[in-house]
A and B are shown apart, each in its own frame.
Chain A
Amino acid sequence: MASKTDLVVDAAQTPPARARRATLGGRMSGLPRWLRFQWATPYLFLAPFLILFVVFFFLPFAYDISQSFYKEVRSGLGLSAPKVVWNGLNNYTQVLQDPAFRDAIKRVLIYGIVQIPLMMGVALIIALLMDSATIRFRNFFRVTAFIPYAVPTVVAAIMWGFFYTPNISPITALFVNAHVPPPDFLGPQTVLWSIANISTWEFTGFNMIIFYSALQAIPQEIYEAGRVDGLSEIGIARFLKVPMILPALVMGLLFSLIGTIQLFNEPEILTRMSGAISSTYTPNIDAYNVAFVKTNYYYGGAIVAILGILTFVFSFGFLRLTRRQSGV
């Protein structure tokens, strides 16, 4: 942080300097002695966050990993109480070799490869159009695109679920009226893309707003220079605007990537309407069903650990990669 000057409180200050500050700070004398030392200040501001971090992030993760090395053993006839025994890395090898888990991972990857670029592309085009002066009704279009973000994913999934259910869907009704066989939105081949549609509907506007805000922050003189050099509006968008908002694009991609690996709400809600969504449809649904339907916390713990590490590796790797390629 180059902007930090010596005006910033420095815990490494010499004691006389610290004492001088303390006498200057007349109102601080009402505080208990240990609070008057300035070294404590940043820690006090951080304390609530750090406590929450330890209790609801660090401890759960550590506990999860410690549990994942055990398994529950029931004796032959299941008459005596089950025993918990050490299982080493067996849960992990079992998860990684489970074809259902591999399918779930593959499924969210295919989903991400198609849905993320599509959503980002549309969001970027809208943002660029919003940023160009020729568009009318700009406010209306921007607000319209952003409204779905205010709809909770569960409600969005319920709502789109009605659009996918044959007897109630207005889309199916339109097809039937036109004497065209209506599409099956909930079949084994299509339901993944019906889910992708829900996410796209939800988050296109969110990404658009992030891109648009970044575009608005670019100084206009740069475009003037481009125009003088004979660039068309599309050329300005392609060669000036997009490269300048790369960090915002990286940010949007990162959130989408994390959301995709963690996919849970939409498929879980659609389960009731579609037989094609199995209990291992996405990694998170798998973890949920193993832990809470089969009540196998130990095996579920291994799935959670693998998923957490996978999410971290993916998002961290993505950040490294983009940092090198875009010079960010």
Chain B
Amino acid sequence: MATILTDAPEAPVERQPNHAERYVGARRFSFGSLLALIFLSVLAIYFLMPLYWLVIASTKDNSDLFGTFGLWFGQFNLFANLSQLFTFENGIFIRWIENTALYAGVGGAASTLISVMAGYAMAKFKFFGQNLIFALVLGAVLVPITTLALPIYLLESKMGITSTYWALLLPSLLNPLGVYLARIYIAASVPDELIAAARIDGASEWRIFQSVVLPVMVPGMVTIFLFQFVAIWNNFFLALVVLNDPNLFPLNLGLATWNFDPASHQLLYNLIVTGSLVSVLPLIVLFLFLQRFWRSGLTFGGLTG
């Protein structure tokens, strides 16, 4: 899988249109660009409509959810929904938010650091067993951890850590794709000369990693972090299998149990809808806020041996 390479992370994100492109851009109302604009607008509606619906739906109570048209407001009950959401079952939803911040946020950050350390070792050192470890990393990229949810559960129950935070947190720290990407980023953007110079200046190996490698790696690390954050968020299968105690659930498992619960299903519709909105918004804001970083870290292209 030696097919990915990235530009140096500091590569310009948005290039200026060149002369020819500016000339083409001047023909603003050509048929082709009108067609493209329509195509993109239809897609934009497709991508935004469910979220628009979610915003509208979170302002409705249960009877309005069924009784009024989905794409327009009924009676405004957003604040009633929110207060019901945050107080339901002694504020379990707040607990789920905190748990998600722990699993995906803290877990994602720790996982990123671990991946970058491993990627650094593989990009800038020669050592015995290097090829074997690289093959293992690739194999683990190709077989995602979802496959192993069942045996991980069995092993964790032998270790006695099922239904503890560790049950979901520890497996979430493993991120072979992150190691793979970090190795490419570091090989492309950290000059060997810089490391050698720091070594001659007498810096310790950890110091070199900390003050030479990490600063250059910030865009790449943001990308790896966001990938892993989303991967942990989406690893619903593992959470479903290893956690029994609702107090330990992440948001997605919590919302799913409300959604699954046949007895209270209809009664909880407004909570499921409002809870979905609350769990989605911070993430979208985070993505938009970090755009500058992940877009420059995401430059795939070309190839590497």
Q: Mark A139-178, 1 if CB is under 8 A from B, else 0.
A: 0110111111111111110111111000111100100000
* Bound form: Cα–Cα A157–B51 in Å: 12
Contact call A133/B17, Cβ cutoff below 8 A: yes
Q: Interface on chain B toward A: helix, strand, loop, or mixed SS?
A: helix
Contact call B204/A28, Cβ cutoff below 8 A: yes
List residues 192-236 of chain B with CB under 8 A from any CB of chain A: 192-193, 195-196, 199-200, 202-205, 207, 209, 230, 233-234, 236
* Bound form: Cα–Cα A39–B176 in Å: 23
- B57 interface residue, CB < 8 Å from A? yes
Q: Which residue of A63, A140, A143, A159 contacts B154 across the interface (Cβ within 8 Å)?
A: A63
- B20: chain A residues at CB < 8 Å are 223-224, 227
Give the shortest distance, in Å, between A174 (CB) and chain B (any CB): 9
- B92 interface residue, CB < 8 Å from A? no
Q: Mark B269-305, 1 if CB is under 8 A from A, else 0.
A: 1001100100110011011100100010011111101
Q: Which residue of B69, B151, B195 contacts A301 across the interface (Cβ within 8 Å)?
A: B151
Q: Which residue of B lies closest to A285 (CB)?
A: B237
Contact call A7/B195, Cβ cutoff below 8 A: yes
- A135: chain B residues at CB < 8 Å are 33, 36-37, 40
Q: Mark A55-89, 1 if CB is under 8 A from B, else 0.
A: 11101110110010000000000000000000000
Q: Which residue of B125, B140, B148, B155 contacts A304 across the interface (Cβ within 8 Å)?
A: B148
Contact call A56/B121, Cβ cutoff below 8 A: no
Given contacts A1-B187, A287-B150, A316-B142, contact A269 B259 (CB under 8 A): yes
- B255: chain A residues at CB < 8 Å are 154-155, 158
* Bound form: Cα–Cα A123–B46 in Å: 14
Q: Which residue of A lies closest to B230 (CB)?
A: A149
- B248 interface residue, CB < 8 Å from A? no
Contact call A31/B252, Cβ cutoff below 8 A: no
Contact call B133/A46, Cβ cutoff below 8 A: yes
Contact call B148/A8, Cβ cutoff below 8 A: no
Contact call A265/B150, Cβ cutoff below 8 A: no
Contact surface of A with B, Cβ cutoff 8 Å: 1-5, 7-12, 21, 24-28, 31, 38-39, 41-46, 48-50, 52-53, 55-57, 59-61, 63-64, 67, 122, 125-126, 129, 132-137, 140-141, 143-156, 158-163, 167-170, 173, 201, 204-205, 209-210, 213-218, 220, 223-224, 227, 233, 244-245, 247-248, 250-251, 254, 258, 262, 264-265, 268-269, 272, 284, 287-288, 291-292, 297, 300-301, 304, 307-308, 311-312, 315-316, 319, 322-323, 328
List residues 159-206 of chain B with CB under 8 A from any CB of chain A: 170-171, 173-174, 176, 179, 187, 192-193, 195-196, 199-200, 202-205
Contact call B48/A297, Cβ cutoff below 8 A: no
Given contacts A45-B121, A57-B148, A265-B236, contact A27 B174 (CB under 8 A): no
Contact call B3/A251, Cβ cutoff below 8 A: yes
Contact call B207/A153, Cβ cutoff below 8 A: no
- A31: chain B residues at CB < 8 Å are 204
- Which of A45, A201, A223 has its CB near the most chain B CB atoms (within 10 A)? A45
Q: Which residue of A269, A304, A319 contacts B150 across the interface (Cβ within 8 Å)?
A: A304
Given contacts A3-B187, A28-B204, A162-B273, contact A57 B57 (CB under 8 A): no
Contact call B150/A214, Cβ cutoff below 8 A: no
Contact surface of B with A, Cβ cutoff 8 Å: 1, 3-7, 11, 13-15, 17-18, 20-22, 24-25, 27-28, 30, 32-33, 36-37, 39-40, 43-44, 46-48, 50-51, 53-54, 57, 65-66, 69-71, 114-115, 117-118, 120-122, 124-128, 130, 133, 136, 139-140, 142-152, 154-155, 170-171, 173-174, 176, 179, 187, 192-193, 195-196, 199-200, 202-205, 207, 209, 230, 233-234, 236-237, 240-241, 251-253, 255-256, 259-260, 262, 265, 269, 272-273, 276, 279-280, 283-284, 286-288, 291, 295, 298-303, 305
Given contacts A155-B255, A264-B146, contact A46 B126 (CB under 8 A): no
Given contacts A57-B174, A126-B43, contact A214 B300 (CB under 8 A): yes
Going nearest first, the 9 A-B pairs with the smallest beta carbon separation are A170-B70, A133-B21, A42-B125, A60-B151, A64-B151, A49-B118, A45-B121, A154-B252, A214-B301
Contact call B70/A173, Cβ cutoff below 8 A: yes
* Bound form: Cα–Cα A151–B240 in Å: 18
Contact call A201/B50, Cβ cutoff below 8 A: yes
Q: List 23 A-B contacts (CB under 8 A).
A: A12-B126, A45-B118, A49-B118, A53-B174, A63-B151, A134-B36, A136-B28, A136-B37, A151-B280, A152-B233, A152-B252, A158-B259, A210-B298, A214-B301, A245-B301, A254-B142, A258-B144, A265-B237, A269-B259, A304-B150, A315-B143, A316-B142, A323-B3
* Bound form: Cα–Cα A150–B207 in Å: 35
* Bound form: Cα–Cα A28–B195 in Å: 15
Contact call B300/A251, Cβ cutoff below 8 A: yes
Q: Which residue of A160, A170, A284, A323 contacts B237 across the interface (Cβ within 8 Å)?
A: A284
* Bound form: Cα–Cα A218–B273 in Å: 43
- B43: chain A residues at CB < 8 Å are 122, 126, 141, 144-145
Contact call B193/A7, Cβ cutoff below 8 A: yes
